[in-house]
Amino acid sequence: MKNNFKVIGFDADDTLWINESYYRETEEAFFKLLSQFCDRDTASAVLLKQEVMNLNLYGYGAKGFCLSMLETALTVSEQRVQADTIGEIINLGKELINKPLVLLDGVVETLDYLKGKNIRLIVATKGDLLDQERKLGNSGIEKYFHHIEIMSEKKEENYRNLLSSIDLRPEEFLMIGNSLKSDVLPVLEIGGYGIHVPYHTTWQHEVVDDFTDHSRYLELKKITEIMGVI
């Protein structure tokens, strides 16, 4: 892979810091609350369907997730869910938003290395604006980034807009992230470069299963391996 990029973009959730594991923990607690109405697999299927249906209305992130949990509780209980259970679900959502910010191993070391190479670094992430701003503020790594882009979607058009707003040609841009679907494929599609660093857990909606190799793409096991490539 070439290594004279002007700008490197980092996804945030599950690329720079832990995120998906917190959602999985919250879901398990939520499924327990619903066990009076249905089994775990049913609750899980209804929740995923509700989340995907709500994406257009609420976008990505914790607040939309909370609303999807509430709607799921209404559905599986056939509108019989008690107010105290609703209260517990809302608390689960607040706990999710207040989980500690934990950087993934090697992130600071990698950012230090890239900064030393004089490459401009940016964050390009989906999620709630306030939630992502809070996480970045708590992360201690905000100082490494020239620009933070909180995107409503990560499709080709969104990346095209991002690059034109920072005056960059696609071939000058490398995007690094844990989601093939959101961080890599659309960037390859518009002529940029992509590095996939998988996280051990992937939200089902982000899973892609028909990806063939690409000359502007690389998969790494750990974020620190970027230092051997760039």
Count CB atoms within 10 A of the CB of residue 41: 9
Specify the residue, 16 or 92, whose C-beta has the smaller distance to Mg ion.
16
Residue 149 interacting with Mg ion (CB under 5 A): no
Site string for Mg ion, 155-194 (x = CB under 5 A): -----------------------x----------------
- Least distance (Å) from Mg ion to the CB of residue 189? 18
Three-state secondary structure call for residue 187: helix
Specify the residue, 14 or 51, whose C-beta has the smaller distance to Mg ion.
14
Q: Interacting stretch for Mg ion, rule CB under 5 A, among 6-14, 36-44, 86-94, 104-112?
A: 6-14
Specify the residue, 12 or 73, whose C-beta has the smaller distance to Mg ion.
12
In single-letter form, the type of residue at position 182 comes to: S
- 47: tokens are 């929740």
Q: Quick check: 16 and 104 in contact, CB under 8 A?
A: yes
List the one residue out of 126, 123, 128, 119 whose CA is nearest residue 93. 128
Site string for Mg ion, 65-104 (x = CB under 5 A): ----------------------------------------
At residue 193, what are phi and psi to the nearest 5 degrees?
Answer: -110, 150
CA distances from 170 to 8, 97, 194 (A): 11, 34, 11
- Least distance (Å) from Mg ion to the CB of residue 71? 24
Residues 44-63 that bind Mg ion (CB under 5 A): none
- Least distance (Å) from Mg ion to the CB of residue 30? 21
Specify the residue, 11 or 149, whose C-beta has the smaller distance to Mg ion.
11
In single-letter form, the type of residue at position 56 comes to: N
Burial code of 185-207, b = ≥16 C-beta within 10 A, e = fewer? bbbbebebbbbbbbbeebbeeee
Among 9, 10, 11, 135, binds Mg ion (CB under 5 A): 11
Specify the residue, 75 or 182, whose C-beta has the smaller distance to Mg ion.
182
Specify the residue, 12 or 66, whose C-beta has the smaller distance to Mg ion.
12
Q: Interacting stretch for Mg ion, rule CB under 5 A, among 11-19, 24-32, 137-145, 157-165?
A: 11-19
HSE toward the beta carbon, residue 23, CA cutoff 13 A:
23
Q: Quick check: 146 and 95 in contact, CB under 8 A?
A: no
In single-letter form, the type of residue at position 187 comes to: V
**Would you tell me which residues interact with Mg ion (CB under 5 A)?**
11, 13-14, 178
